[in-house]
Structure 1
Amino acid sequence: MFRKIGISISIAAFSLGFAQNVDKQKLDHYFNALDENHKVMGSFAIADKGKVVYTHAIGFSDAESQKKADINTIYRIGSITKTFTAVLIMKAVEEKKLTLDTQLSKFFPTIKNADKIKIEYLLNHRSGIHSYTDDKEYMSYYTQPIAKEKLIEIIEKGGSDFEPDTQFQYSNSNYTILTYILEKVYGKKYSELIQKYIAKPLQLQYTQVGGKINVSKNNAYSYEYENGKFVKSPETDMSVPSGAGCIISTPTELITFMNGLTSGKLVSKESFDAMKQFKDHYGFALVEVPFGEKKGFGHTGGIDEFRSVLYYFPDGEKTIAMITNQSDFDNNQMAIVALQAAYGRDFQIPDFKVVEVSDVDLEPLTGNYSSPTVPLKINIFIKDKKLMAQASGQSAFPLDAVSKTSFTFDAAGITIDFNPAKKEFVISQGGTKNTFTKE
């Protein structure tokens, strides 16, 4: 499924000293531990002052044939595509094909509030246009080719969620519309624009608009790991996300892209500065990323079971890029570890030790829990001899026991510590702790 990015980056505060060399051996051990426990498959890269100083790949690009991933394996990058699209829009502005104040009504007058929506509002997700990927119907067509006229119809039908420029709300519709605008003003396909204005100037060999996954060209499939097996996920047809999520690349080429953007090789300093005018922590396809006292920017992505991260920190000129094609681990935690390594800080390698807990010991933990500080309830129950948790309105997720009263869900970086005597538990995620009491 084509997914929204996680806008809130919960990176812990660290006291960062002077930069040191990346502990490559320990970082290898970290990623290998994730691989050996079937937590993650993918590729990773770190750069210092624009130079790639670390790369590593784990898992399979094709689990069926047991084809191992390597540093040149090509993955779908999901919403990091939006940063590429924003660059193309800024090029169009520089070439006076449009302005940031150009109204949407010039191109698609039938979209609600088109006469109030500027190009700028599409770039920074302040248009109010409803995201078509949030609709139930999306699941019925996302794996099939779709004509742009049909997708515009769907977007028109979705209407508006709020008045333009009154708030921020992430919507894939914005960048699909921007894609079609680019094709109109240039009279060229989006794929041709990516090649002309980004891939060729930066000599990117693998970065392009994706199509059907082709293992013979070192493309990776994406997977879920279920019951001891890798289960291949359905493929989004790339006509559906277009410039909101259709690009394929590698971590090292994403770093080259970020280098090109920050060094003026792709757009002017004025255009780049405009991209970094953050409102509600979001610019033009760039998200503010805090790390200790440092502040960087970048984007994340998700499409099918691919997850991607591209972060750049001007203070120290560190860049990290990660693309996974299977993840049952908290990608934000992986990003934290990569940044700790990039800045020469120590980090912990998880041991993933899981203990067996009997139904007799699990039963007292079950029940409905609530908290005065969190507006949702969490149901704890047993399924197939496994403790499960389900927050109101959300899907259930399994809990792995690390003791009789302590459980984890690595995919979201969640730890739940039960106190049966008090009939409560403390849930920890991203440095935040909340206490829930059994009703």
Structure 2
Amino acid sequence: MKKLILPLLLVLSGYLLKAQENPPTETLDSLFDIVNSEEKGMGSISIFSNGKEFYQRSIGYSDVEKNLQSNATTKYRIGSITKTFTAVVIMQLVEEDKLKMDSYLSDFFPDVPNSEKITLEHLLRHESGIFNVTDDKDFTTWMKKLQTREAMLKRIIKNGTLFEPGDETRYSNSNYLLLSYIAEIVEKKDYAAIVENRIIDKLGLKNTFYGEQINAEDNQARSYVKTEGNWKVTPETDMSVPMGAGGLVSTPENLNIFYYNLFEGDLMSKASLEAMKTTNDGTGLGLMKLTFNGFEVYGHGGGIDGFSSIAVHFPKEKITASYIANASDYPLNSIFLEAIKITLGLPYQIPDFAPPTALNPDVLDQYKGNYGSAEFPIDVAIFHKEGVLYAQGTDQPPVPLDFSGENSFKADQLMLKLTFINAEGKMMLEQGGKIYELKRE
């Protein structure tokens, strides 16, 4: 789960959203043809209009070693998109008076620091202040092993809190891990059975389930990273680790069905849906929100091991789109953004995939570190590899940066600019017309 998508990183400001009557599938194909031919990613995308699929494309392999090609029913780990499912479960339990939004965490796990102050809503909105357990310094040593609830709770308790509940919005997988445990206690069932009963069976999501060890023979994708020009399989996180923070497996088509029905009111009351859509700093209850030119888009991103995913819904336009990659050598959300522009008849640019210019690693050392801010919902790690500087948000894939001037770097595909003030240990992050000041920790 050490990856999500910088508040979706979907910046469409300045464009008029209008779905075309005849979606340009050939243009979409041209985009994914070059992604495939340049070996910049493997995975599947699905796009719906008014609840019906009008475009689907799969590229690459679900299993490189066995030469198994991906297709429309290939199933992928979806990472943090699972959080939307978990939020729906919690909202349903609230509607049934089995839980209350202002219930305290101490009612369930009194040993968690500040639990007597942390409400369920704080957890849902990432306002609890609880340390992100996947940032644990030993994460890579235990992520591949079966974990009990007790072991995960012990790590959460050990790492303590970062701020007082409600003071900030900061993304933490621990919040949704705890929410899934709470749902299990209330329902007296395991998380997999709860989601299956409340969402999967109700919507007929035949290719969505709680993950176990990846089974390539069941058309389940393995994930890969590019190493010395070749795709190398990544280690698998044991699915006892992410639970309701990132444990589900699905297809883009199934995700579109889920998000479309969620916004059509088929999973909860209108009041509960409005609560999910109500955001602080772009963060709602299991949803992220972006507003531009009077239009709104909601969704979530995710990542686990080598998988990256993103799903969005335009409520007024009734456009739903999901893209899941099991291998990325270029930011998934950049490709997805161009696909959305094409779908909506907006100006688009098919990437040329030119690599950033390599710089002296000794010069890049001065920018390394982890940067955060109370005003920005996730932390950003800055590091370099083979002379290229990278930015990586919490639970997101790394983004390569181009040098753009003294102490400044950019990623044009994300409309992102970073300027470092090294003497003060600061980084100015500019995106979508907004500027955030992040401090090195």
TM-score under structure 2 length normalisation: 0.85
How far does residue 140 in structure 1 lie from its aligned partner after superposition? 1.0
Name the aligned partner's letter for residue 363 of structure 2. N
Partner of 1:397: 385
How far does residue 350 in structure 1 lie from its aligned partner after superposition? 2.5
How far does residue 243 in structure 1 lie from its aligned partner after superposition? 0.6
How far does residue 354 in structure 1 lie from its aligned partner after superposition? 6.7
Partner of 2:367: 377
CA contact (8 A) 2:8 2:310 kept: no
Name the aligned partner's letter for residue 15 of structure 1. Y
How far does residue 398 in structure 1 lie from its aligned partner after superposition? 4.1
CA contact (8 A) 2:18 2:317 kept: no
CA contact (8 A) 1:289 1:311 kept: no
CA contact (8 A) 1:224 1:231 kept: yes
CA contact (8 A) 1:327 1:411 kept: no
**Alpha-carbon distance in 2 for matches of 1:13, 1:303:** 29
Partner of 1:277: 278
Larger radius of gyration: 1
Change (3 A) 1:311 1:234: same
3-state DSSP class of the match of 1:394? strand
- Farther off after superposition, 126-135 or 425-434: 425-434
Matched, 1:416 2:399: no
CA contact (8 A) 1:369 1:436 kept: no
3-state DSSP class of the match of 2:280? coil
3-state DSSP class of the match of 1:323? strand
Partner of 2:329: 328
Superposed, which structure 2 residues align to 1:23-422 within 5 Å?
Answer: 23-290=24-291, 293-352=294-353, 368=363, 377=367, 394-398=382-386, 412=399, 414-416=401-403
Change (3 A) 1:4 1:393: closer
3-state DSSP class of the match of 1:168? coil
3-state DSSP class of the match of 1:179? helix
How far does residue 230 in structure 1 lie from its aligned partner after superposition? 1.1
1:41-98 per-residue CA deviation (whole Å, 9 max, x = no partner) reads: 1100111122111110001000001111001100000000000000000111111111
Q: For this pair of structures, how many residues does the alignment match?
A: 402
CA RMSD of aligned residues (A): 2.7
Name the aligned partner's letter for residue 273 of structure 2. F
Partner of 1:22: 23
**Alpha-carbon distance in 1 for matches of 2:240, 2:152:** 9
How far does residue 5 in structure 1 lie from its aligned partner after superposition? 4.6
Name the aligned partner's letter for residue 55 of structure 1. Q
Change (3 A) 1:174 1:327: same
Name the aligned partner's letter for residue 431 of structure 1. M
3-state DSSP class of the match of 2:260? helix
Partner of 1:431: 415
CA contact (8 A) 2:8 2:301 kept: no
How far does residue 335 in structure 1 lie from its aligned partner after superposition? 2.3
CA contact (8 A) 1:276 1:283 kept: yes
1:142-167 per-residue CA deviation (whole Å, 9 max, x = no partner) reads: 01101111111111111111111111
**Alpha-carbon distance in 1 for matches of 2:381, 2:94:** 43
**Alpha-carbon distance in 1 for matches of 2:258, 2:186:** 24
**Alpha-carbon distance in 1 for matches of 2:297, 2:342:** 16
1:189-210 per-residue CA deviation (whole Å, 9 max, x = no partner) reads: 1111111110111001011101
3-state DSSP class of the match of 1:341? helix
How far does residue 438 in structure 1 lie from its aligned partner after superposition? 13
CA contact (8 A) 1:2 1:78 kept: no
**Alpha-carbon distance in 2 for matches of 1:438, 1:192:** 50
Change (3 A) 1:113 1:66: same
How far does residue 331 in structure 1 lie from its aligned partner after superposition? 2.0
CA contact (8 A) 1:5 1:79 kept: no
CA contact (8 A) 2:263 2:315 kept: no
